[in-house]
Amino acid sequence: MTLPFHNVVLTGACGGLGQALAHELIEGGAQVALVGLDVARLDALTALAPGRCAVYTPDVSNSAAMQSMAIDWMARAGVPDLVIANAGVAGGFDTAEADDLAVLRRMLEINLLGAATTFQPFVKPMRAQQRGALVGVASIAGWRGMPGNGAYCASKAGLIRYLESLRAELRETGLTVHTISPGYIRTALTAGNRFAMPGLLEADAAAHQLLAGVSAGREQIVLPRRIGWLSKLLNLLPEKLHDQVLRGQPRKPRVGETGATAIPGLSDKHPPT
């Protein structure tokens, strides 16, 4: 696939979807700012095109660090025409457990605030050149709350509304804003799930569909499309019946439980029991 993007900033470049996106962008000839925390993985991606990539390891919720990254990248490569806020974390959540409040806070910082800190340094330069795409990777989990997954659902629902607001603000400026709502993608974030994952998509296929959709100008992209229809059908159920169906499913592992994924920056002084 020939991509119309030549200068790209990609956060979450270490994860399954992020690595797949990076591979396709690099193979397409783009210059790519690779933002993540696993230096070894980022260096391996950079080795694919040493002259076209740069590695950055800021905390995406740290606005000063993200601004420094943006300044350095634009000095190297110019103003990007595509910025993908892909960094995200997931994990189970139990409001009855005090320690889980830290999980909620950190998840909001990475999944929601992290998108804003990713976009913010580039909006004015991109608006000045009157072109470019801002992409936020949300989730169909943001369409409806799910038992045991309140922190993740809240962070992705907030991201969806934030992207809606940003899209309205930037209309007629030449910039486009794209909301990506994946269902289940085979990555480290879903590896520990103990429930059925209908429509499970391989990361390479998800990355290809995402970039194809953005290239075509689609503002709302569900991966895969059929999982979006399934979710909408479930949401037609009466509230009590919908809740009963979901309550019968195994919960996503909480931090500290078998199968849980690490959440960067989360204090381990008081891990959930």
152 labelled catalytic: yes
Note the Cα 115 to chain centre separation in Å.
8
- Cβ contacts of 244 within 8 Å, gap of 6 or more: none
Q: How many residues are there in the chain?
A: 273
* Strand arrangement, sheet containing 175-182: 53-56, 31-35, 7-11, 82-85, 132-137, 175-182, 220-223
Catalytic option among 56, 152, 162, 184: 152
User: What is the CB-side half-sphere exposure of residue 67 using CA atoms within 13 A?
Assistant: 5
Helix/strand/coil percent split, the chain, to 5 = 45, 15, 40
Q: How far is CA 46 from CA 14, 65, 181, in A?
A: 12, 21, 28
Residue identified by tokens 């990506």 is: 180
How many beta carbons lie within 10 A of that of residue 1, not counting itself?
9
| Dihedral angle over CA of 207, 34, 177, 191, nearest 10 | 40
- Cβ contacts of 99 within 8 Å, gap of 6 or more: 270, 271, 272, 273
Active site residues per annotation: 152
